[in-house]
Each structure stands twice: as structure tokens, then as C-alpha cells.
Structure 1
Amino acid sequence: MNEFWDNLKRFPRFLFSVIIGFFLTTFYTIFELLKEKNKRLTISSIMIIIILIIIIILRRMLGIN
């Protein structure tokens, strides 16, 4: 039973490292693509469109005008 509680205590650290690893691997590829001048405009516009879509969806879901 002690092993269960030890694993449960380690879970937040594991979850934090998984989240950090996800963001590092995701943003590393985006930053590598941004180094090339011809892809910079395309990646930037795609990111802006995605952010705007998320904002619109959240506003409609939450009923914010």
C-alpha cells in the first residue's frame, strides 16, 4: 500500500514534465520553421487563424459578447 501512495506523490511531477515536454517539442519545430524566411509568413498566418478560431469558439460557448 505504501508503494501506491509513493506513486501518487510522484504523479504531479510526472504530469508537469509531460506537459513541459509536449510544449518544448511542439514549439521547437515551429521555431525551426520560422527561421526560414519563405515559411515565416505562412506559419505566422496559420497560428493567428488558429488563435482567432479558438477565441471565437470560446466566446460563443461562454456567451461572451
Structure 2
Amino acid sequence: MSNFWINLYKFPRFLVSVLLGFFLTTFQPIFKLLKNKSNRLILIMISLNIIGLLYRIIQKMTGIK
């Protein structure tokens, strides 16, 4: 039973390291693309379009005008 409490105590550290690793491996290619000026402009335009699309979808789903 003591192993259970030891594992439960270690879980927050494990969760933080998994989340940090996920974000680092996800955003590393994006940071490499931002180094080039033409890629930066394209990436910003795509990001703004995605944000605008999500905004419109949520607006239509909730009925907010």
C-alpha cells in the first residue's frame, strides 16, 4: 500500500514533465518556421484565419451577435 502513495506523490511531477515535453515538441517546428520572414507572414495569416474561423463558429453555435 505504501507504493501506491509513493506513486501518487510522484504523479504531479510526471504530469508536468509530460505536458512540457508535449508543448516543446509541438511548437519547435513552428519556431523554426518563424525564423524566415516569408514563412512568418504566411504562418501569421494562417493563424489569423484559423482564429477568425473559430470565432465565427462559436458565435454561430451560441447565437451571440
Q: Confirm or deny a common fold (TM above 0.5).
A: yes
Which moves more between the two structures, 18-27 or 46-55? 46-55
In structure 2, the gaps of 5 or more residues are none
Q: Displacement, 1:38?
A: 2.2
In the alignment, what sits opposite 2:35?
Answer: 35
Find the counterpart in structure 2 of residue 45 from structure 1.
45
SS in 2 for 1:11: helix
Instruction: Specify every segment of 5 or more residues in structure 1 that has no aligned partner in the other structure, as ranges.
Output: none
With normalisation by structure 2, the TM-score equals 0.71
> Once the 2 structures are TM-superposed, how far is the Cα of residue 21 of structure 1 from its aligned partner?
1.4
Structure label with greater radius of gyration: 2
Structure 1's 6 and 58: CA in aligned 2 closer, same or farther, altered over 3 A? Answer: farther
Structure 1 equivalent of residue 2 of structure 2: 2
The percentage of counterpart residues that share the same residue type is 50
Secondary structure, counterpart of 1:35 in structure 2: coil
| Superposition deviation, residue 55 in structure 1 | 3.5
| Offset at residue 58 of structure 1 (A) | 4.3
User: RMSD in angstroms over aligned alpha carbons?
Assistant: 2.0
